[in-house]
Amino acid sequence: MGSAQRSVAIGDLHGEVSLLRALIQQIPPDGVQLLFLGDYLDRGEDSLGTIQFLWELAQERACVFLRGNHDAAWLDVWNGDRFVRCPAIPGARKVWEAAHGQVPPLVGAFLARTHLDWEDADAYYAHAGALPDCSFRKTPTEVKLWGTETFLTSPYDWGKPVVFGHYELTEPLLTPTKCGIDTAAYRTGCLTALNVHTRQVIQAAR
């Protein structure tokens, strides 16, 4: 179970550290927990810089970091000390080659501390949502990381809204049962956050 602080959920970053910095400046620290929905690396501006920024941010702000499918792919090739090969997931090759195959151990240490899911008074949280017709707690790990075809269109009510990223949306999806906030920042230049309690959308754009 999460803390009593109100959560501001933040969508998939994919290396967009400049947008992240701009977004964080718009979120007052008092009484707020920053809840990141995963996928920190690959595709965008500066994946390693993003991890470094988040590592430092966690020393200053209340943060929860969830695990996305890209993060799980990186952890699959992490042996506790180093990354043994490039993960087989889109965008990873760019990160691997930029680091000349020597991705800093800080990345592995950060990703290893991520959570599969989270819960607070307002919502459930998982990178790729939940399985329809199944409780959130019993949703398989693979679904929480990789999603399922029926999730977005299902009318199922999990008892609380499910807040998620993963699915690239042209605008945030806000319904009584779901809140989707991956606006594909690496491609659109728009990074989205959501005050889950008030449903206030916060965005940074370039």
Residue range 124-166, pLDDT digits in tens: 999 999 999 999 999 999 999 999 999 999 999 999 999 999 9
| CB contact set of 111 (below 8 Å; sequence gap of 6+) | 40, 67, 71, 74, 75, 78
53-73 residue pLDDT tens? 999 999 999 999 999 999 999
User: Is 93 in a helix, a strand, or coil?
Assistant: helix
User: Is 8 in a helix, a strand, or coil?
Assistant: strand
Q: What is the pTM of this model?
A: 0.95
* 13 touches 40 (CB < 8 A): yes
Q: Which CATH class is domain 6-205?
A: alpha beta
